[in-house]
Amino acid sequence: MTDFVTVLPVVLSGGSGTRLWPLSREKYPKQLLPLLGEDSLLQATLRRLDGIQDLHLLSPLVVCNEEYRFVIAEQLRQMQRPGTVLLEPTGRNTAPALAIAAHAAQKLSQDDPVLLVMPADHVIVDTAAFQQVVRQGAAAAAAGKVVTFGITPDAPETGYGYIQAAGQADALGARTIQRFVEKPDLATAQRYLDEGAYSWNSGLFMVRASVWLRALQVCRPDIAAACEQASWQGRTDGDFVRVDAQTFAACPSDSIDYAVMERIAATAQPAADLPRAVVIPLAAGWSDVGAWDALWDVLPKDAQGNVAQGDVLLHDSRNTLALSEGRLLACVGVDDLIVVETADAVLVAHKDKTQDVKKIVDRLKQTQRSEGQYHRKVFRPWGWYDSVDAGERFQVKRIQVKPGAALSLQMHHHRAEHWIVVSGTARVTVGEQVLLVSENQSTYIPLGTRHRLENPGKVPLEMIEVQSGSYLGEDDIVRFEDVYGR
């Protein structure tokens, strides 16, 4: 029934995952992290489509933030998975994100593809069950319906929104959506569970590109107009597709549910030119991994209910998640705790209070501390740097540059730099000079001097950079040339 349906996977990767701090940071959020294996959550989202039958799957379209576009492009490259990276110049929630994805889809394919819309940061354990409902959803979406997948609840969960279905399921297992319900209290959630007509709102959708754009035009013409203009004024920039930043910034912010889905539910009496909204049940070990307790839920545990990752020792402890990125982490006589160690921050929280981690992130933003935005190790399109030490008027970084990559031609107003090559060979531009600096050699970049660092070799270049000066912030960079368009 779905033999000739063309499906374009659309991965929405705009979230910041603040409740999984300190592992997830604003500039390197949870979808980019390998939380449940070697793959990042983004990579796992795409990989769960591997081997799906009866559908014509196109290369994926990833909608993401400007800040981590190069990391996403690199993760797609690591998977050997060609795809399109569509950049949001600013976050405007999921309805505009899907609108610009639908416009991009119409440019990428002449078949008016069915969009399989997936958040990049969810976990689904049962791949076979997921692929089966995707095939069902593809058939329903190809027929002009807007399909969402409702997670079959197994507990009175108060952290999720709910979908109430009406009527009998059709041949594809789809039921008409009667209404969407906000996160309930415990008693109401228990009633929903007992009644059996409610499912958790997964945020997964299937809809033809043209159907979504038409529905958005009827329900939110202001969003539709802004996204259409931003898309058609956009451009291709290397590996990335950009929409017009000024037009998109003026677009109202709204979610898929509020902008369209709630308006076309059965009780809203939608107009004749609007599609029917249906829900298909999904029981596949789904989790949105929204906080540390949710991650603890889906990870393998020992006999005492503990999850230990990294260099961790546990004694007389139960139902605890202990995660170390580097240093030895020891927990003695603790129950129901979350303990997370990273290079620059440690979190200790009760498992019942993990939603409040966001309040710590909010305080970090208010005080403009970098730990809310960046890890100590920061990825760049040319490689990465790790800020290993800092003090009054100095900072030490370990830097790795990919083979063939180059930093921008730049200068600094407030700092000088000393570069020591540890391995590989560096081509260094200092003013009018171009030098080759080999292992165990060093060079000096005076304050105010134009300079560039390149790796002309076949192996990664590793070096130590010592900065000294009155101001060492990352914003003290004047770029003259940059192959990455920054």
Q: How many CB atoms lie within 10 A of CB 436?
A: 13
Query: How do the residues of the chain divide into helix, strand and coil, expressed in percent and rounded to 5?
Result: 25, 35, 40
User: Which residues fall within 8 angstroms of residue 60, CB to CB, at 6 or more apart?
Assistant: 8, 9, 10, 11, 46, 76, 81, 83, 84
Quick one: average pLDDT of 133-155? 94
- Token pair listed for 361: 């992130």
| CA–CA distance, 12 with 428 (Å, rounded to integer) | 39
pLDDT tens for residues 25-72? 988 999 999 999 899 999 999 999 999 988 999 999 999 988 888 899
CA angle 127-132-135, nearest 5°? 125
- How many alpha carbons lie under 13 Å from residue 3 in its C-beta half-sphere? 1
pLDDT tens for residues 385-431? 999 999 999 999 999 999 999 999 999 999 999 999 999 999 999 99
Domains of the chain are 6-287 (3.90.550.10), 298-363 (no CATH), 377-481 (2.60.120.10)
- Token pair listed for 24: 């997830």
What are the two backbone dihedrals, phi and then psi, of residue 84, each rounded to the nearest 5 degrees? -110, 135
What are the two backbone dihedrals, phi and then psi, of residue 66, each rounded to the nearest 5 degrees? -55, -35
Question: Of 50, 67, 44, which Cα lies nearest the Cα of 120?
Answer: 44
- Put residue 259 in one of left, alpha, beta given phi > 0 → left and psi -120 to 50 → alpha: alpha
Residue with tokens 């100590």: 376
Q: Check whether 443 has a pLDDT greater than 50.
A: yes
Question: Of 446, 469, 372, which Cα lies nearest the Cα of 18?
Answer: 372
User: What own/partner pairs with CB < 8 Å and gap ≥ 24 does 436-443 have?
Assistant: 442/418, 443/418, 443/419
In the predicted model, what is the mean pLDDT of the chain?
A: 93
pLDDT tens for residues 65-111? 888 888 999 999 999 888 999 999 999 999 999 999 999 999 988 88
